[in-house]
Structure 1
Amino acid sequence: MFDISFSELLLIAVVALIVLGPERLPKVARTVGHLMGRAQRYMNDVKSDIQREMDLEEINKLKNQMQDAANSVRSSVNDSVNTIKDPLSEAQQALADLHKPLDTPTEPAAATEQKAALPETAEAAKPAAAATPDNASKAKE
């Protein structure tokens, strides 16, 4: 961490023994050890917090990618469904158009034959009516 060799550490210990004295040196060494431990724990906490934040950012990026992929899949499925629905609705409309003439009530065939025959009989009846003497006098009037 500090890149201190053993000889440098031994020199610092000798200077501390001379400056502090043999009575206070163990107490100071213990205090320095506790402070160094706290500093290491604090550095580890900071590193872990940074790592968690980086992991959280990566997870959020992954989440966004997954949401984009899900939206893409959803839109392609919707497009596929729409391409299937359009011809299907056209086919249903065509079937409905085919059933419309069948659903409407039609006149019986005999009635249509009678209607077709009526104008002919009415025209045929006119000359016959004119040929009778009563009708001939009415026609002259």
Structure 2
Amino acid sequence: MLELGISKLALIGVVALVVIGPERLPRVARTVGTLLGKAQRYVNDVKAEVNRSMELDELRKMKDSFQEAARDAEQSVRDSAREVQQHLEGGASDDGGYNMPLETPVSYPQYQRPRKNWRLKRGATPQWYKARNGVRTRAQSGAARVARFRPQKFN
């Protein structure tokens, strides 16, 4: 960059005053200032665009490397699953063992919704009944619940 000191700026100002004249110097100075400002904004926009394109390229490379790693992991899982399946279906194993039949999976009963809607029944209970019988009507935080049931200290 150009290094402009005080002496160089003063010399440029004196030459501009002599060449342009004192009447037109303020208007020319404003015009030069606006043009320099526009040029500086343009340079900053170009720099920002270049930085964005470089970041975008880096992100694409990172995305490609992640996708490749995911594909490798998926392939290794598939290969190991295929080996296990072949081992289970293949009969005698290489280490002299024998092929054990697979156990049938345990079947769990299917979930059935309770017949009564306990939320509706509980919501229909009057407030005076809940208050008399000690039914909780408001949610309580974990810390408040612990503090409520903490044993009292004896003095």
Is TM (by shorter chain) over 0.5? yes
AA at the equivalent of 2:82 = N
Q: TM-score, normalised by structure 1?
A: 0.62
Return the TM-score normalized by structure 2.
0.57
**Which residue does the alignment assign to 2:36?**
36
The 5 Å alignment of 1:23-62 reads: 23-62=23-62
1:18 maps to 2:18:
yes
- CA radius of gyration, larger in: 1
- What is the one-letter code of the residue matched to 1:66? F
Q: RMSD of the TM alignment (CA)?
A: 2.0
- Distance in 1 (CA, whole Å) between partners of 2:60 and 2:73 is 20
Q: Note if 1:72 corresponds to 2:72.
A: yes
CA distance in 1, matches of 2:40, 2:60: 30
Residues 70-115 of structure 1, C-alpha deviations (whole Å, 9 max, x = no match): 1111111111111111122235x985xxxxxxxxxxxxxxxxxxxx
Query: How many pairs does the alignment contain?
Result: 95
Question: Aligned partners of 2:70 and 2:88: how far apart in 1?
Answer: 27
CA distance in 2, matches of 1:94, 1:66: 40
Stretches (4+) displaced over 6 A: none
Tell me, in whole angstroms, the C-alpha distance in 2 between the residues paired with 1:36 and 1:2.
14
Which is helix-richer, 1 or 2? 1
Deviation of residue 58 (structure 1)?
Answer: 0.6
In structure 1, how many angstroms separate the alpha carbons of the residues matched to 2:100 and 2:84?
Answer: 16
Residue 27 of structure 2 aligns to which amino acid in structure 1? K
In the alignment, residue 19 of structure 1 is paired with which amino acid? Answer: V
Identity %: 49
Tell whether 2:90 aligns with 1:90.
yes
> Aligned partner of 1:11: which letter?
L
Aligned-partner SS, 2:22: coil
CA displacement at 1:23 relative to structure 2: 1.0
After TM superposition, give the deviation of residue 57 of structure 1 in Å.
0.9
